[in-house]
Amino acid sequence: MRTAEWQCTKCGVTNRKLVAPDQNRVEDQCVSCRTRHIVERDARPVFWHATPTP
Ligand SMILES: [Zn+2]
């Protein structure tokens, strides 16, 4: 497992989630405001790109 970090688009908090090594996309919920995001692997290995779910 590895750690994916992503920044909440709503409140700006940095979240962390454990993902499998072959996983490039995951759904997660902000620990602070509970907004759900789709989190996708970006060019940077640790910091992932987050998009709020509709
Ligand atoms: Zn948030």
pTM of the model: 0.91
The encoded tokens of residue 21 equal: 């090594």
E strands, 1-54, where? 2-7, 14-19, 25-29, 36-40, 47-52
Cα(42) to ligand 1 centroid in Å equals 19
Q: In this predicted model, what pLDDT tens digit does every residue of 8-41 receive, in sequence order?
A: 999 999 999 999 999 999 999 999 999 999 999 9
Instruction: Say what the pLDDT of residue 25 is.
Output: 96
Judge contact between 46 and 17, C-beta under 8 A: no
How far does residue 33's CA lie from ligand 1's centre (Å)?
Answer: 4
Q: Are 27 and 44 in contact (CB under 8 A)?
A: no
- Residue 21 alpha carbon to ligand 1 centre in Å: 25
Long-range contacts of range 38-43, CB-CB < 8 Å, 24 or more positions apart? 39/4, 39/6, 41/4
| Rounded distance from Cα 26 to ligand 1 centre (Å) | 16
